[in-house]
């Protein structure tokens, strides 16, 4: 692979090609005599972090698998502890703001008082969100837990799969972002150190250089 890249070539091929050229030079592929030891160190650290980012793929897959098992167990507990009842709307339907604030884009929610028979046979009632066409006396499907508290339906198998994949991808993105941030930090620190060294060397050379020009 040819790592000799002119400025116009780097501009034409873009950011990735420019960094590939820099990495090739820093690793010694082009035999550049001006290559600094710090450049070589930063280049090898960059390679190590890129490899770490690639190794994050199986880690993310393992994390997704673990998340799937955990989510599946939670869904099983939800299915065992929740059941659906047919409540009846007994109170007036009213509108409630879903979110506060002058710039809120959330629509209004429709609520009504509903009643149902608890597991112990006693009557239960609670205001819940209902459909737009709900009227007094209408049946309202409702999910409740073992203590007859209103809750949501148990998660489905599809929801468990989506959640597990989301967790896996999120974990991979966190690791890759961390590697990219470390690469940027290492390169910035190396360039800052090189700039300070150059300034110190120039402070020594500049007086002699200036006298020669006079």
Task: Tally Cβ neighbours within 10 Å of residue 113.
Answer: 18
β-sheet bridge partners, residue 116: 124
Q: What is the mean pLDDT of residues 40-69?
A: 83
Give the DSSP H/E element, type plus range, for residue 85. strand 83-89
In the chain, what are the domain boundaries? 1-35, 41-81+158-214, 83-99+106-153
- Convert the pLDDT of each residue in 83-131 to its tens digit: 999 999 987 777 776 555 555 455 567 888 999 998 888 999 888 888 8
Q: Are strands 139-144 and 83-89 parallel, antiparallel or unpaired?
A: antiparallel
- pLDDT score, position 163: 93
Q: Does the pLDDT at position 30 exceed 60?
A: no
Q: Does the pLDDT at position 172 exceed 80?
A: yes
Nearest residue to 114 (alpha-carbon basis) of 106, 122, 123: 123
Q: How many helices (H) and strands (E) does the chain have?
A: 4, 6
Q: What is the mean pLDDT of residues 149-158?
A: 91
Tokens of 114: 């509903």
Percent of the chain scored above 90 by pLDDT? Answer: 28
- pLDDT score, position 159: 93
Instruction: Determine the distance from the C-alpha atom of residue 207 to the mean position of all C-alpha atoms in its chain, rounded to a whole number.
Output: 54
How far lies 22's CA from each of 5, 8, 16, 18, 186, in Å?
A: 9, 14, 10, 6, 14
- pLDDT score, position 195: 81
pLDDT band at 189 (very low <50, low <70, confident <90, very high): confident
Nearest residue to 78 (alpha-carbon basis) of 143, 123, 32, 2: 143
């Amino acid at each position: 692979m040819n790592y000799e890249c002119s400025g116009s070539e780097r501009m034409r091929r873009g950011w990735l090609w420019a960094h590939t050229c820099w990495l090739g030079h820093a690793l010694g592929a082009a035999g550049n005599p001006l290559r600094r030891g710090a450049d070589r160190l930063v280049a090898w650290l960059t390679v190590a972090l890129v490899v770490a980012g690639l190794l994050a793929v199986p880690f993310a897959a393992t994390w997704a698998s673990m998340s799937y098992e955990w989510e599946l167990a939670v869904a099983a507990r939800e299915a065992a502890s929740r059941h659906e009842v047919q409540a009846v709307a007994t109170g007036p339907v009213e509108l409630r703001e879903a979110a506060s604030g002058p710039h809120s884009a959330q629509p209004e929610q429709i609520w009504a008082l509903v009643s149902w028979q608890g597991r112990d046979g006693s009557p239960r009632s609670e205001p819940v969100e209902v459909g737009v066409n709900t009227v007094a006396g209408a049946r309202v499907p409702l999910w409740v837990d073992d203590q007859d508290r209103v809750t949501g339906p148990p998660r489905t198998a599809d929801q468990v799969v989506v959640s597990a994949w989301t967790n896996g991808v999120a974990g991979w993105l966190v690791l890759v972002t961390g590697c990219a941030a470390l690469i940027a930090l290492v390169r910035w620190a190396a360039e800052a150190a090189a700039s300070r060294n150059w300034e110190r060397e120039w402070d020594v050379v500049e007086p002699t250089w200036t006298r020669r020009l006079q």
